[in-house]
Structure 1
């Protein structure tokens, strides 16, 4: 019988496992110890031994860590510094931004500024042209995806999680780039805008040997440049033009089928609506392009019946000379506003609709570079998840 010879690396791993001082500790106690560590430290422990690696990379451990992290949402900042060709990710406690700071950095292969979509279960998706990546900003691990199958097109990408099949997916749509005549669209009412229809719809599923797959859409629609989609309960939502009306497009990540929800007959939403996830419901907040007018807040009460309710109109937030941009909403229901231009030190404002009060949140060390490009994400959940290599 042929004797199987162990490799030197495997023998070293076996020896490390046997000499592991933590091997005598009960599994439940090990898990409790790991739960108190930041994801970046947990990722390093995964290289100590096969035992630690199998425990840390298990689905049960990741889900447990995510569940506990969800009770302590964080602020996540993506900071691109062009002079360093570096993308920095900085997170801090949402309740007390002055404490518990975590930082990781990612070195770009070239002078590319990646635009990132809101994080999903601790992971984040970034794209620059046809280049795309998925990363875990808590551990500093990023994987490059295959190039998007298109060229010379305007691209909309939305990242989400399918709980039915336990998969992370990216929906990508492309439309022909339309030449813009300076000043033309500023003088036209919204309903006369011509929004080109999406020509290609593709899906990427995170995993080894995965590629972009073309899918069909029964509802011809056109998205808008700069549009940001959100994911809730396995469905992607984004605003688009359907039958010459601004509508809410829904994409079920499990069935990979599209559907359409009508928006309220409100001029403010039709022209300036922003999509957010507010208290577990799909919400649209509209703000004029001057960034100093009132905010209108609509909530989708029943998607199947296309029922919307106007829950608030926020006026007279600040003086007429103050310019603030709507950036999102917290789980608490507070509205997030970012002053323009970007202040130094960096700060944003939280407005409580019910109390009609405002608090200022200052983040030191973020806006100290005038050339830096900053994206802010709220209710971020840290994850120790290890990303599979994409071939």
Structure 2
């Protein structure tokens, strides 16, 4: 190793998964210092941004298993691909998460049971699926929760957890960091009811909401850094419970799907994009997705997972649907609005990868959650937090999943 230049060693290490970097911190004090240094963390983030992944969370019998697969980069006119699913970690039986929130590579569980014994209460927990590490947050006793989510401030590089109560003046917020973490009370001047799940990007958390005074619908924006709330009027947006918020090339957007009268195809994809924040100017785009062999297999249970940095809309199986039999392949779809192309991606042997000796595999029903554009970032080390950090070792897989690709001549 002494004959290999240190710059070359760091260049090689920057191409490895975050889990490997977490292990290599223990090689020596020198390696630990270098891998925690600003030069390497910036280099690793640059490499990671160039290889974003699609993160999967599979829920079966109260167990959460995490996988990821590469997002296609420049498929060169192909209409279908087959990619591998890499297994990361698994929460053992007895851990029963009820709600979750994703931000910048970390996942927050507002109600996780960490013991099989009933005497243990549910706890707030943050986990890093890429490294298999998790941390239990300080106990919070408040009124009945109306929702909670994880936010990320890209300027100060801080994660914050906001827990909202049904009582408007009993909300709490916690900043993750190296110091002693504690919950702080925070007030929201907007009296509203949350309607949908939250999306975090550009240093803010967005979610659909309805004002309690006049019941008008819109979008609530919570600025993570300033901890201020703002209500975005979206009356021309056509907000409904089926609208899914997205980050479209750095701009706030929303998508609703509309199938044909018989529940089949063609499928209409209606997208609104907030072009001017101050003037509340929304632009509307409507696209039609024709029937595709793989697209038809998921019937009318598609869900907008998110978007890629290049503006592709990622669709997958509706996470609210319980899938009973996984003999059929699992698909995700990348729709490019500018080119009007649809790429079908089979996540190869995802079910077999999960069957790690439990005996029942995926054949008794499960739900799949997916998160697009997942990027690994070393700047926040979850093990630096002060509240009960721990690591979960994933069980061995029966066989390794390989990566292949196919192409189709069918036009879309």
Matches within 5 A, 1:223-372: 223-224=194-195, 227-242=196-211, 243-266=214-237, 268-287=238-257, 294-314=268-288, 322-327=299-304, 328-339=306-317, 342=323, 344-367=328-351, 369-370=362-363, 371-372=365-366
Q: CA deviation at 1:146?
A: 2.1
Q: CA deviation at 1:216?
A: 1.2
Give unmatched runs, 5+ long, in structure 1: 1-20, 176-196
1:133 to 125, 128, 133: 125
Q: Which has the larger radius of gyration?
A: 1
Classify the secondary structure of the residue corresponding to 1:311: strand
Counterpart residue number, 1:200: 170
Q: CA deviation at 1:109?
A: 7.1
Corresponding position: 1:142 with 2:134: yes
Matches within 5 A, 1:17-166: 21-22=1-2, 26-82=5-61, 86-95=63-72, 98=82, 101-108=85-92, 110-113=94-97, 115-120=99-104, 122-128=105-111, 131-151=123-143, 153-166=144-157
Segment drifting more, 154-163 vs 109-118: 109-118
Q: CA deviation at 1:170?
A: 1.6
Which protein has greater RCO, CA pairs closer than 8 Å, 6+ apart?
A: 2
8 A Cα contact 1:202 1:213, kept in partner: yes
**Using a 3 Å threshold, how does the CA distance of structure 1 residues 389 and 339 change in structure 2: closer, same or farther?**
closer
TM (normalized to structure 2)? 0.74
Q: Root-mean-square deviation (CA), in Å?
A: 3.0
Classify the secondary structure of the residue corresponding to 1:296: strand
Q: CA deviation at 1:100?
A: 6.3
8 A Cα contact 2:84 2:349, kept in partner: no
**Using a 3 Å threshold, how does the CA distance of structure 1 residues 299 and 39 change in structure 2: closer, same or farther?**
same
8 A Cα contact 2:164 2:172, kept in partner: yes
Segment drifting more, 237-246 vs 70-79: 237-246
Counterpart residue number, 2:401: none
Distance 2:227 2:345 in 1: 40
Give unmatched runs, 5+ long, in structure 2: 74-80, 113-121, 353-361, 388-412
